[in-house]
Structures are given as structure tokens and as C-alpha cells.
Amino acid sequence: MENKKFVVLCTVSLTFLLSIATVSAFVEELDDTFKDTRMPDEIWLIQFYAPWCTYCKQLDPVWYEIGAELKSMGSPVNVGKVDATAHTNFAKEFRVGGYPAIKLLKDDLKYNYRGPRTKDGIMEFADRVSGPVVRALPSQQLFQNVMSRHDVLFVYVGGPSDLKEKYISVAKELIVHTYFFSAARNILPKAVTLKEYPAVAVFKDGTYFLYDEQHDGDLASWINSERFLNYLQIDSYTLYEMGDTSKLVALAIVDERNPTEESIRYKTMVERVASEYKDLYSKEFQFGHMDGNEYINGLIMEELAMPSIIVLNVSNDGYFLPPNKVETKEQLVKFIDGVSKGRIKSQGGNGYYQCFIRIAFNTKTTVTNIFTNAPLLGAFLVVVFCGGGSALCYGLCMAWRSMRNTESMRDTEDEEPITGERVEPKQLKGPGEDKKTETKVKNPAEKKAD
């Protein structure tokens, strides 16, 4: 019986190790020779990691799954990873600033992934960027199929033109964020009316909007600002991407792990304002809700009650809080209008003082969480910190003291009398010596004269 258990255990362990080896075989470890050995038409999805990085270690199993799945799908994307601390020139060329960093190399272009570190998110990014920059929709059936799978859809309508060249150029830059399509006029739904032809349209929120150069300005800026739904659930990754849109973000902060009627009412209130006042505020505001207040607490440096309303300026870490509690849709509209017209002043920001205070607040929050969740670990870290700090202070004091002594000795050695003459040491007189007269010692000539 014991032998059977041992055999089963060995079989399971061997199977597990073989599966790991098989999966990891589809991820290549890269080094500084990559630039010389890579073929020009190869597409590479690369993870830059550091051996000490906890997040990198957490990403490893996901990364190996991505490599195996892309290979099984017949994808042209090669998957690799590189130790950025060992191959610094490689990392420097890709402008790696943190770990793990995920980049896709296609032709001579380098694309940076800024989404969540999940298998689905990274796979979708690799599929989008590695494929055609602009994908054709040759039939109404395919158009409807794509519409059902994408919340936001950008479509160029028409043949060759200067607008199409601009569209392709913008697509090369912004394909890291969204897909780009093209279609003939007869492929579009009958409800779509084009004022001009060719045209660029965005389909979202159950309707469509047409790009107007005179009204909307630069095509890239317009696409960048329209690539989100008018109302959506927002997390820290989404907020980071919204920093490029120049829009303010109006949020309902709720606790979805413990939903209440008030939380639902706040979400519904923000969604209604986003829908009913779309024409008035959609150019300036992005609307949504966020689950949890951890990110917001770090931004405003205090505990924000849930549910609450807040408007964020993601581009400079500024924020706006209602002067009074928002209970109705009308009060929310009044608050949004006050922010829009400058009646409500912005708080926070990314100045040096604010950054320092924010770092101090985040440090305090981290230490508090450690002591709350793991008091023994917290006590150990405090002892280590205090011991290290004491040792550092002692070492600095001893070094300063040694340096002062050395300087004092050098000053004594270098000191010389002003006249340049030798100075005889002064002899101390004994008691009563100052009252004695000096005895003159006479030479022989003087004695003979006497």
C-alpha cells in the first residue's frame, strides 16, 4: 500500500514537472545578442523582469501560459523574457523604467503594455498589436459580429484619401489602446447617416459619432478622447490610461463587496447624468464608478467615506470634492457644472510638497496595514529599522569624530612660529625661586683681575 502511494506521488510530481517544462519551452530567455539574431519580420512579446521582483515572480506562471497558448493558436508572436538587471543595455534600448515591463516589438516599433497583468489582458494586447493596423470589414455580417464583441469601435468609411492616411498613421500609434477598422459605405447599418464622405466614425453607447475636423481638431486627440465608453467601471489601470485624454473623471466611489441601496443609488445617479447630459459634458468629463476607496485615499491623503462622489484630474493628481453631500441627480449636476465653470476649486496636485505629503501618507498607511494584519512582522521590521538606523548614526558619528581628530593633528603639525626662530620650552620655577638673585659665573680673566 505504501509503495502504491509512493508511486502515485512520484507520478503526479513527474507529470507536474513535465508540464512546467513543456509550458516554459515556449518562452525564450533573451540576452544582449537579441538585436543581432532577431529576424526583421519577427514579432516579439517580451517581459523585462528583475530576479528580486515579487510581481515578476507572480507573473511567471501567467507568462508561460501565454507562451504556450499563443504557440498552440499558431500566432506569429514569439514570447520571451529578459533579466533587465543583467542585460542593462537591452533594457535601456526599450526604455524599461519598472518591473515587470511588457513590450511588443513589431518591425521597428516598440509598443508598451499598460493594462492589468492578466492572461486575458495581455493576450488581447498581443493579438491587437501583432495583427493588421487597420482591419477590413468586407461584409455586413462581419461588421455586426465585430460590433457585438467591442464596446468601442472606430471605423474609417471610404476609399483612398488624405483622411485615410491620417487614420492609418494614428492607428499605428494608438493601437496599443484600441482596434481600428475600415469598411465601405454599404457595409454600415442603414441608420448611419454620413454628412461627409470619406469619414471616420466611432460606435459606442448604442449610437455613433462622426469626426469633424473643424469642430474636433486633431484626429489623434479626438480618437484618444473617444476610446472609452461614456460610463464604465474604472480601476487604477483605466485611470492611468485616462490621463492621456485630458478629460476630468467623475466617479461614484462604492464598496461592491458590501453593496447597499445607497451605493446602487450613487452608481445609478452618475450613470443617469452621463447619459442624459451627454451632449453637455461628454467632451469634458468621463463618468464611471470605482470599487473601493484605497486608490482615492492615497490621492486625497485621507479616508473617503463610501459611497461618495469625487471628480479627478488624472493629468495632475488634482481632485474636486462636493462642498455638500450629494443626494440627488440635480445636486450632482450642480456640482459637475461648478467644476466645469471653475466655481469649485481644485485640491491636491503633483507639486513637490504634495508629492512629499502623499509619500508620507502612503508610508503611514502601509505601516498601519502591516501592524494590523501581521503585528509580529511589523515589530520585527521596526526592530530592524531602528537597529539599522542606530548603527548608521553611530557609524556616521565615529567617522565624523575620526575626521575631526585627523584634521586637528594636521593643524598641529603644520603650525610654525611667526619669527621662524626656535622656541625654547619655558621652565617652571620652584617656590621662592623668583626671590633668589642670579649667581654670575666669572671667566678666568675676570678672576685674575680680581
Which active-site residues does the annotation give? Answer: 53, 56
Residues forming a β-bridge with 87: none
Is-contact 123 73, C-beta < 8 A? no
State the Cα–Cα distance between residues 38 and 258, nearest whole angstrom. 51
Closest C-alpha among 313, 308, 310, 309 to residue 284: 313
State the Cα–Cα distance between residues 386 and 314, nearest whole angstrom. 37
43-49 vs 101-106, strand pairing mode: antiparallel
State the Cα–Cα distance between residues 170 and 153, nearest whole angstrom. 15
Is-contact 139 93, C-beta < 8 A? no
Cβ density class 296-320: b for 16+ within 10 Å, e for less: bbbbbbeebebbbbbbbbbeebbbb
Residue 76, C-beta contacts closer than 8 angstroms, at least 6 positions apart: 43, 130
Task: Name the packing angle between helices 2-24 and 54-72 (round to 10°).
Answer: 80
State the Cα–Cα distance between residues 13 and 2, nearest whole angstrom. 16
Task: Tell me which amino acid residue 388 is.
Answer: G
State the Cα–Cα distance between residues 83 and 114, nearest whole angstrom. 19
State the Cα–Cα distance between residues 439 and 433, nearest whole angstrom. 13
Q: What is the DSSP annotation of 209-267?
A: EE--HHHH--HHHHHHHHSS-SEEE--HHHHHHHTTTT-EEEEEEE-TTS--HHHHHHH
Secondary structure of 151-219 as H, E, C letters:
CCEEEEECCCCHHHHHHHHHHHHHCCCCCEEEECHHHCCCCCCCCCCCEEEEEECCEEEECCHHHHCCH
Rg (CA), the chain: 37
Alpha helices in 301-374 (DSSP H): 329-340, 352-373
ω into 198 cis (within 30 of 0): yes
Residue 292, Cα to own-chain centre: how many angstroms? 19
